[in-house]
Structure 1
């Protein structure tokens, strides 16, 4: 059974009871009032007929008495009139009354002997009748007979039936109107919000937590919708948090597997570097000895110089592999960024000129100091300048800038830090979007064969992370590359004494 049906029944039952009680009280009061009115009317009519009869009997006008009786008998609500002599015998009555029972003997005797009028209610042929029995007197006051006027009270019952019919009709209309109003209100105020809630329940059950129930009112359903929406928001936030945790766990597992692979590669690189280093030193030494024993300009000397150059290149690759395989522990001290960067730029100035690269510097006037290993910082800046130079084979511009700022690290749930930023921005060929996520991976390079090992950025990134910083990269093909190194700024109270931290 629906809510509307139950509510309609709950309203209809008390309404019927109230209307029934009202109808009973109204019918009872109306019946009593109508009976009193009819009784007053009957007494007045009986008194009028009594006077008229006494006048006619005094004048001995029997025909007038009969005519008066017939005339009164035809009056509305009057059943008939009977005239009695002093002995109680009927002198005259209309023909219609012959079949009705005689008057009440006690009341008739009281009227004839004592002159006392009487009112008697009884039923004649299933009709309620009110009888008035009054004495008839001569001019001297002697009782010469009696008069019985019978008045119908069926009008009271007819009025009661009409009243009941009106009450029934009114009750039915009120129930009908109440039911229609209840169902309409239920449909607007209850059914629609419940349907919306049910729809949201189904959507949530299917996994759609973005579903929301519209809040149209500020009643109980509105508060329920608000509470339900709040629950969905918390569930959605929990789901996002869980998904984020799962994604973070997946990334951590991926990084762990990657770290394990890098450790294996590092061990392999360390072994290869040791195995290659010894014969490489022998070859290099013999080539230098032969080159010193030959005159300059001979073909053999030129070939030995090429051999020596390539041996130096192999040695540099071996050193990079060793640096990657076993990063030395940094010796941290309070270090100025500008002096280290200036040494690197002075060292690279000759290569910039050879590569037709114009250097544009924008160094902050304020002293920027960090707690770092100067040698490792030098290595990072040198690697970034070398990569920028290699990215501009036809020349270009390298912009180097330093600044101090508040910056938020890439780690989640971390506040901003006071950092020193060193930016290297070139106008080179740029890096494709699909390669940006791999530029810091070991042995990843976009340079041609023989031009790089893919360890420079990886080693640089590891050094900066060891110092508590990070590197941001922004690049696009044909637009150049901007690499920004962020290092935590050193506090003034930091000691200048070197200290060793574990890698």
Structure 2
């Protein structure tokens, strides 16, 4: 209801301004009317009294005339009446209250009515009516009336004005609160709740707003938006599933391509134990061996069969398609599995493996097959880069690094540094190394997708790959994985 209070405060301010303006105008009008009424009443009373005083002066003498004025002053409670002389302005009972220069028209026989503020008694109206008496004398009746009644009237009016304004504001606030809650607050509460549910993924078009006003139109628009978002989200999910399936197919194809590159070495690696098994089997079947020799040859056959099983199991695990499954794994074990699988290719290329571990290596949450694919691709590239043979090092360590593509603080990562002694990579090729279909190999020896797929896999694991190469000295790939 904070919006209601803002609207209500604005309404109060507007009403106060309007009522204050109307009150001020009414106050000025009342003062003006009251002042005019006082002036008219004083002139009427003064003129009537002037005629009576003039008549009494002529008929009964000055004493009777002055007695008449005193009687009139006694009877009038709100108006003071005095007999003043304009010929003696210095002081005395008959001197006018207002200075002579302010009432000069009296000397020409014209009545004068004006207001004057008395320092001790407030604002007063003084009215002077000339009264002709003996020749050469200037006499007048002074009528004085205080504005106290006006002040009291205006105070009472102000009180009633404030009371009326307060009642109007309270009544307006009550009516506004009722209609605001019914027509604005309740629809806004519905919109707020619906927006919160949309943010949480609830796209059901179930918002109901009664009426035909703008809120009803907005509610219908939100429902239409939910339908569109739901349809778009389903499309995105469908396309994402297709993309993932295509990506898995691409990665599987790359694994099969890698197996093809290893096939020649594998045929030799499997052929040797098969020859051994075949030869020992024939000798056992000949029956020319004693019991101890049969046992020894059987052990050799079992050892060679296990060797073949290990090689084939490694190849099958590498080539098998399955759903990604990230679980904590020992990286040193995975590295050794990859190197064992690539040992025939390394032997054929006269390459030697060396594994270096610095301290304790923590387990890392990963998909084993995907990470094996990354390491296999990088190690196999290193083997092929060493045309004259050499040493390929795999170094495991823990380093504090900042992710190059994320604005986050440095933290610990597991690093797998793979260094070969090959011919190196030209500097102009380094920036394109992870681009899809980029390759420097001859046609038929590579798809150009291996390193691109490898980088994508490591990115999905929250890491990245760095490359450092010096032509003629070798290349170093460093894989960083969070743990």
Q: TM-score range by the shorter chain?
A: 0.3 to 0.5
Q: TM-score, normalised by structure 1?
A: 0.42
Higher normalized contact order (CA 8 Å, seq sep 6+, divided by chain length): 1
Q: TM-score, normalised by structure 2?
A: 0.44
Task: Look at both structures and tell me which one has the larger radius of gyration over its CA atoms.
Answer: 1
